Amino acid sequence: MKRLLAALAAAAACAPVSAQTIYRCGDAYSQTPCAGATVLQTSQHPVSPRDVQATRAASLRDARLADAMEKDRMMAESRPASLNILPVGKRLSDASSSEKKVVMSKPDKLHVFTAHAPAKPGEKTKPKKKKKAG
């Protein structure tokens, strides 16, 4: 409801306002004149009631869409985290089809990286361990 009121306020702010004199002072624009200022001509065209109605309708539509999106987000956030996580072995393409069976695969072994300081000149290095094949 708050969004709806904000949208209506934004639509009301789009109502026509009286034109102000704009001055160009070099590369800057201002509402107050400066030495050597050039007055810019602004085109004043009236806003039709049809345009105002279309703007209000678009604002209401956007507010309703925003409320619906917020409700969806709140619902998704209220679900337990385990429902939002796909099990290991399940592909995203499989997630939409509830008919397919989930094939659980064995997760890969994690490879841990450990940093070591380089050997100083003249020091002997430790021999590397040989990896077991298989």
The 10s digit of each residue's pLDDT in 76-123 is 888 777 665 666 655 555 555 555 565 666 667 677 777 877 878 877
Which residue has tokens 């709140």? 74
Task: Name which residue leads in pLDDT, 131 or 35.
Answer: 35
Classify 37 as helix, strand or coil: coil
Of residues 67 and 126, the one with the higher pLDDT is 67
CA distance linking residue 76 with residue 95, whole number of Å: 16
The residue extents of the domains of the chain are 2-80
